Amino acid sequence: MASDAHADSQHGGPPAMTAPRIRSIEETRCCVVGGGPAGAVLSLLLARQGIPVMLLEAHEDFDRDFRGDTIHPAILDILDEIGLAVPLLELPYTKLRAVSAPGLSGSTPLITFSHLRTRFPFIALMPQVRFLEYIIGEAQRYPSFHLVMGAGVQELIVDSGVVRGVRYRSKDAWHEVRALLTVAADGRYSRMRKLSGLPQPIKASPPLDLVWFRLRRNPDDGEGLMGRAGPGHFMVLLDRGDQWQVGYSIAKGSYPEVHAAGLGALRASIAAIAPDLADRVGALQDWKQLALLSVEADRLPRWYRPGLLFIGDAAHVMSPVGGNGINYAIQDAAAAANILSGPLRAGALTLGNLAAVQRRREWPVRMTQAVVTMMQNLQGFALSHAPTSPAVRSVPTPVRLLLRLPILSDVPARWVAFGLWPVHLRPEIRVARTPLLDAPNTGPRASSQAGHTAAQA
Would you say 226 and 100 are in contact if contact means Cβ atoms under 8 Å apart?
yes
| CA–CA dist 158, 173 (Å, integer) | 21
127 part of a folded domain: yes
pLDDT in tens, 413-432: 899 999 999 999 999 999 99
Query: Which is more confident, 14 or 288?
Result: 288
Residue-level pLDDT at 439? 59
Residue-level pLDDT at 151? 97
Would you say 425 and 79 are in contact if contact means Cβ atoms under 8 Å apart?
no
CA-only gyration radius of the chain, Å: 23
Give me the percent of the chain exceeding a pLDDT of 90.
Answer: 59
Give the count of alpha carbons within 13 A of 274, CB side only: 28
329 part of a folded domain: yes
Q: Coil, strand, or helix at residue 153?
A: strand
pLDDT (average), residues 109-127: 88
For position 357, which CATH number holds? 3.50.50.60
Range with lowest mean pLDDT among 39-48, 54-63, 335-344: 54-63
pTM: 0.86
User: 13 Cβ partners below 8 Å, 6+ apart?
Assistant: 155, 156, 194, 195, 196, 197
User: 428 Cβ partners below 8 Å, 6+ apart?
Assistant: 341
**Beta-sheet pairing, 174-184 with 308-310:** parallel
409 part of a folded domain: yes
Number of domains comprising the chain: 1
Domain that includes residue 41, residue range: 10-202+296-430
1 part of a folded domain: no
316 part of a folded domain: yes
168 part of a folded domain: yes
216 part of a folded domain: no
Query: Which is more confident, 373 or 20?
Result: 373
Residue-level pLDDT at 448? 46
20 secondary structure, DSSP code:
P
pLDDT in tens, 218-274: 988 877 788 887 777 888 888 888 899 899 989 888 999 999 999 999 999 999 988
pLDDT in tens, 88-106: 999 999 898 887 655 433 4
Closest of 196, 98, 179, 78 to residue 455, by C-alpha? 179
2 part of a folded domain: no
Residue-level pLDDT at 408? 55
User: CA-CA distances (angstroms) from residue 185 to 128, 193, 196, 244?
Assistant: 16, 10, 13, 29
pLDDT (average), residues 53-78: 88
